[in-house]
Amino acid sequence: MALQFALLDGRRHDRLGFACGIAVLDEYLRRLASQHQRDGIATTHVLTDDTQPARILGYCSLAAAQLRLDDLQPGDRKRLPAYPVPCVRLARLAVTRDVQGKGIGRLLLGHALNCALAMRANVGVRLLVVGAKDARAASFYAGFGFRSTAEAGNTLYLPLGKP
């Protein structure tokens, strides 16, 4: 079994078979992800296994975004210009139910981070940002070093460091 990341391809990937337990995340993959990818709104990256290449184990969607400088914690604002801070938004992350808890979410998060770092080689990007849907999801991201924005809420960010 070899795991691989690919951009969502509706002809190759079985979107209907994906079920993570959160209806809006399943629906997004089924109904909107391909359209958003075509329209330049978000890209969706899927993780599959070469023994069942159509089966989507998990996915993440990425889009360009920005945070206000004031959203960052004071220590993270140092030396930054007084402009909105360019980010990659991890717009969605989900793992299909029967493989949850096996490290797939961690792999997808690593992939999202690698995509943000690769983008940074050509376009200014300072943060990977995520809007966690609830406190439980926020604790998942906090476990990987994401920091809460200065304002209370479930937006978290991860500084990308220096290249």
Residues forming contacts to ligand COA in the complex (CB under 6 A) are 20-22, 25, 93-95, 100-106, 132-133, 136-137, 139-140, 143
Residue number of the CB closest to ligand COA reads 105
Q: How far apart are CA 35 and CA 88, in angstroms?
A: 19
56 or 125: whose CB is closer to ligand COA? Answer: 56
Find the catalytic residue in 28, 59, 141, 157: 141
Are 121 and 162 in contact by the 8 Å Cβ rule? The answer is: no
5 or 140: whose CB is closer to ligand COA? Answer: 140
Whether the CA torsion 133, 135, 141, 146 is positive or negative: it is positive
124 or 145: whose CB is closer to ligand COA? Answer: 145
Is position 83 annotated as part of the catalytic site?
no
Residue 79 burial (C-beta neighbours within 10 Å; 0-12, 13-18, 19+):
exposed
Catalytic residues: 141
